[in-house]
Amino acid sequence: MSQTTVGVEGKPIVVRVPTSQRDYDVVVGEGVIDEVGQLARQACGGGRACVVSDSNVAPLYADAVAQSLVAAGYDACIQIFEAGERNKRLSTVEELLGGLAQAGLTRDDVVVAVGGGVTGDMAGLAAALYLRGISLVQVPTSLLAMVDSSVGGKTAVDLEAGKNLCGAFWQPWLVVADVDCLDTLTPELFRDSCGEVIKHGVIRDPELFSWLEANPLTGEVSEDELARVVARNVQIKRDVVASDEREHGLRQILNFGHTIGHAVEAAGDFSLGHGSCVALGMCCIARAAYGMGWCGQEVPQRIEALVRAHGLPTDTDLPHDLIVSYATHDKKRHGDGVNVVVPLAIGSVEVRHVSLAEFGRLVDLGCGVGA
Ligand SMILES: NC(=O)c1ccc[n+]([C@@H]2O[C@H](COP(=O)([O-])OP(=O)(O)OC[C@H]3O[C@@H](n4cnc5c(N)ncnc54)[C@H](O)[C@@H]3O)[C@@H](O)[C@H]2O)c1
Ligand SMILES: O=C(O)C(=O)C[C@@H](O)[C@H](O)[C@H](O)COP(=O)(O)O
Ligand SMILES: [Zn+2]
């Protein structure tokens, strides 16, 4: 992994992300949360900034970010919503939009999302909608948000019918990932985030995958190493998104593990975290792919072992017809079938369009059969 990362020890690592509109920087390092104001000033300009955060993260980091914004010349306010995926709803976004209007934000101003993926997805959607779009800065505080959700411009809320069914593509102007924030995550939340890191290894980076096998993130990993892991994951996602910003083709591979994962997440009323659901979704589809003869046995074996090494689940006992029913409502439904991402080897996946009957067979082969 070391040969693919950039940056000098102790210094922030900056990953530049191109988009069709403009490029933006992802700044990864220790203590960089205090730089948010000055970096936002350079990236967005504007006079007012509204920090959006949830009820767990706001007491920890919202004031520090707001102070940094004020020091950089912004008139800053803070909006807080009740933490949790169950609140990732249009009604919450509507409240956020009301707050932006009340604070008098104009088209020159900035929304600053401080929190995990739920915060980033909702603050991002609010930024996309408010006045038909204003600047957005992402300050991810969970590992999952640092390696995945803060980058790439997907914003969304859930509908009764399923995950992320209402959203917009809205790229950030800047992402500031302070790995020191990971210190306040509980071990469970940290583990949950690891699902998306493992995903990046399976889809694009066998070297990262092997490195994780030797150095599970739940073991002893230094802050410096964590910063490199975050930066490497951002690079992987950046390269995929850069070649297919609106998910017409290649970007679908970022959904590896999500077809079954999203179904389990929604059907279980969000009692299991997103990363854990992705982890078990990857194991299920890998077992199914082996059962179909699309990959060798070592593929599900290595994925399951790495998932288990990070303390994450490898299977679900949900009824198969429920999984199929949720999957048919997902965005990856096309015509009479569904697009699924299947592993061919560690580091290589492909998107296959399967009929609903074939998808049902994959679920039978892969779910409720694991160790
Ligand atoms: N937009 C995308 O590309 C994308 C990618 C992956 C996931 N997602 C979405 O992201 C969400 C999952 O993200 P998540 O796991 O960060 O969920 P989350 O935002 O709910 O955060 C998980 C929990 O950790 C808490 N938390 C976050 N940072 C903390 C910190 N530093 N210290 C203490 N507590 C902290 C939160 O308050 C919350 O209780 C899902 O809704 C998923 O759909 C989006
Ligand atoms: O950025 C992407 O593209 C992804 O697919 C990243 C996923 O980890 C993320 O969970 C995403 O929200 C899932 O895609 P969705 O389109 O089904 O919401
Ligand atoms: Zn995901």
**Stretch among 2-11, 222-231, 295-304 having the lowest mean pLDDT:** 2-11
Amino acid at residue number 246: R
Hey, CA dihedral for 281, 282, 288, 292, is it positive or negative? positive
Q: Looking at ligand 2, which residue's alpha carbon is closest to its atom 4? A: 254
How long, in residues, is the chain? 371
CA 259/CA 286 separation, integer angstroms:
12
Q: Is 240 helix (H, G, I), strand (E, B) or coil?
A: helix
Ligand index nearest the alpha carbon of residue 238: 2
Mean pLDDT of the chain: 95
Supply the angle between the helices 223-243 and 187-204 in degrees, to the nearest 10: 50
Please state the φ and ψ torsions of residue 352, each to the nearest 5 degrees.
Answer: -120, 135
Q: Looking at ligand 1, which residue's alpha carbon is closest to its atom 11? A: 117
Q: Which domains does the chain have, with CATH numbers?
A: 2-200 (3.40.50.1970), 252-371 (1.20.1090.10)
The bridge status of strand 162-169 relative to strand 174-178 is unpaired
**Tokens for 63?**
């004031």
Q: How far is CA 123 from CA 51, 119, 292, 311, 348, in A?
A: 9, 6, 41, 30, 33
Mean predicted confidence (pLDDT) in 173-179:
98
Residue 339 pLDDT greater than 70, yes or no: yes
CA 360/CA 337 separation, integer angstroms:
11
Has 218 been labeled as part of a binding site? no
| Å from CA of 152 to ligand 2 middle | 9
Give tens-digit pLDDT for 70-93.
999 999 999 999 999 999 999 999
User: What ipTM describes this predicted complex?
Assistant: 0.99
CA 155/CA 170 separation, integer angstroms:
7
Supply the angle between the helices 356-366 and 258-267 in degrees, to the nearest 10: 80
Catalytic residue of the set 48, 88, 164, 196 = 196
Has 121 been labeled as part of a binding site? yes
168's enclosing H/E stretch is: strand 162-169
Residue 362 pLDDT greater than 50, yes or no: yes
Alpha helices by DSSP H, the chain: 36-44, 63-71, 90-102, 117-129, 143-144, 187-204, 206-214, 223-243, 258-267, 274-291, 298-309, 320-327, 356-366
